Amino acid sequence: MGHDTKLEELAIKLFSIDAVKMGEFTTKSGIKTPVYFDLRVIVSYPEVMEMISNLLQEYAIKDCAYDHVCGVPYTALPIATLLSVITKKSMLMRRKETKSYGTKKSIEGHYKAGQTCLIIEDVVTSGSSVLETVKDLRKEGLKVNKAVIILDREQGGSANLLNNDVEITSLFTMTSLIEILYKNRKITEEMMLKVKAYIKETQAVVLEPSVDRLLLPYEKRAELATNQIAKQLFNIMATKKTNLCLSVDLTSVTSILDLLEKVGEHICMVKTHVDIIEDFNKDFVTQLKQIADRFNFLILEDRKYADIGHTVSMQYMKGVYKVGEWADCVTAHSLPGDGVLKALNGHMNSVSRGVFLLAEMSSEGNLISPEYKDATVAMAVKYPDLITGFVCQNKDTFKDPGLIQLTPGVQLESSKDSLGQVYNTPEKVILENGADVIVVGRGIVAAKSPETQVVIYKDALWKCYTKRVSGKLE
């Protein structure tokens, strides 16, 4: 028997045991639906359980590589159990409520961080139940990128899940199921059309990506980035194993270039303040770009544009510095409104460029309020191709895993300088505050031996990042 015949047989069977019902129903969330699925009843029909698990194995699982299976509680648990037995792969169980005594674990079973887990679910509507399970598994450091489903109601769940880096394979879609039932004269044509119209009208809300950006490795986030510079920066970090951005706040061309020759292999980006260089010239830019290419790091000019769009457009492309010609990305304030972003976006036609928008500052007494910060993040949403990320200090500033949190104000010990700069430690900014790229200036530049110090910083920062993505924060 081919897949199609077997699927047809299963569809008819599900209809006959009332796991699929047609009529007028109201769902949990109060929406009226002409079709209702209750796959809980299958536990009373061992032959149906057997059919489902065999079909899932043959049709959806056979070619997947994974270490564990995990059913979404509760309807999918018996099916996951059967699949574990058929495929001889271990099963994990997620508790919906964590125990108040004993180990307090939310995942039962033996596993190691870094192993992969396949999700098993009966019906997907919005995808939110699958995501709850995915989230708990990812917290334990497990890799979860695939879910196999009996029925996809085609109401936005697969897109929501994909948005969260979970791909689904289903035995049936609502359309394929009702077409089989119609073909086999189980339902009328009118009913089939009614269900099709219902699917079109009733789409689940788009869930915000709930992949915790803090747990996702840089190489995965590169895939989710919409700005080309963010994509490049994530990839550079993953390849070079460094999330250190050196703030090279020196005032002569040779001191900057000499330092970069020594530390280039250890950084993912250099941050410049080009207007503090006393002997700036065109040749400096050529040499800077050559070093950046050779060592594979990006250039961020920390210009903090903050004027009306027309002026920013000129400041970016004209004058002595012509920043737009050589800087991969720049920083900008949201204070003047999104004219700044429109202006910078206007120069994006031929080359990839990016903007880090200032959502917070590291200095004491700065006037940025929580409302200002939220409005800054909301402004960025309209420019997905332009925005690389935010300069900020806190993990709750934004959620999008495709954007980068750039955090300055970092040294090995927490301290302050005499002009209001506040320094936090690598542990604090990465593990607690969510920094993705860490800006260090004087901590390295003012050290006796910057080339030794850069390695100390690189290693300390990378260690915190690997700890964070492993999910084991305690």
Residues annotated as catalytic (active site), given as ranges: 302, 304, 307
Q: How far is CA 170 from the centre of its chain?
A: 24
90 - beta bridge partners? 68
CB of 221 to ligand 5BU, least distance (A): 22
| 391 forms part of the interface with ligand 5BU (CB under 6 A) | yes
Residue nearer to ligand 5BU on the CB measure, 94 or 395: 395
| 439 forms part of the interface with ligand 5BU (CB under 6 A) | yes
Residues 241-280, one symbol each (x = binds ligand 5BU by CB under 6 A, - = not), give ------x-x-----------------------x-------
- Find out whether 167 and 184 touch, Cβ atoms under 8 Å: no
Q: CA nearest 128: which of 203, 57, 206, 194?
A: 206
Q: Which residue has the tokens 């790091």?
A: 297
453 - beta bridge partners? none
Q: What are phi and psi of 430, to 5 degrees?
A: -90, -50
Tell me the CA distances in angstroms from 143 to 69, 182, 221, 330, 470, one per residue in order: 12, 40, 14, 34, 10
Residue nearer to ligand 5BU on the CB measure, 232 or 247: 247
Residue nearer to ligand 5BU on the CB measure, 13 or 304: 304
Task: Kindly give the interhelix angle for 174-183 and 3-16, rounded to the nearest 10 degrees.
Answer: 80
Residue 283, annotated as binding a ligand:
no
Rounded Cα distance, 278 and 207, in Å: 51
Choices 3-11, 125-133, 307-315, 434-442; region in contact with ligand 5BU by CB under 6 A: 434-442
Residue nearer to ligand 5BU on the CB measure, 68 or 303: 303
| 236 forms part of the interface with ligand 5BU (CB under 6 A) | no
| Sequence-separated (6 or more) residues with CB below 8 Å from residue 449 | none
Binds ligand 5BU (CB under 6 A): choice among 34, 157, 209, 441: 441
Q: Nearest-5° angle of CA 139, CA 360, CA 339?
A: 115
DSSP code string of 415-449: EE-TTSBEEB-HHIIIIIT--SEEEESHHHHTSS-
Residues 327-366, one symbol each (x = binds ligand 5BU by CB under 6 A, - = not), give -------------------------------x--xxx---
- Find out whether 242 and 440 touch, Cβ atoms under 8 Å: no
Choices 40-48, 209-217, 275-283, 439-447; region in contact with ligand 5BU by CB under 6 A: 439-447
For CA atoms 425, 429, 432, 436, the dihedral sign is: negative
Rounded Cα distance, 96 and 463, in Å: 32
Residue 362, annotated as binding a ligand:
yes
Number of neighbouring beta carbons within 10 Å of residue 354? 26
| 309 forms part of the interface with ligand 5BU (CB under 6 A) | no
Choices 117-125, 170-178, 180-188, 437-445; region in contact with ligand 5BU by CB under 6 A: 437-445
Choices 202-210, 276-284, 315-323, 440-448; region in contact with ligand 5BU by CB under 6 A: 440-448
Count the residues of the shown chain that bind ligand 5BU, applying the rule CB under 6 A.
17
CB of 445 to ligand 5BU, least distance (A): 7
| 318 forms part of the interface with ligand 5BU (CB under 6 A) | no
Binding residue positions for substrate: 249, 271, 362, 421, 441-442
Binding site for ligand 5BU (CB under 6 A): 247, 249, 273, 302, 358, 361-363, 391, 408-409, 421, 439-443
Binding residue positions: 249, 271, 362, 421, 441-442
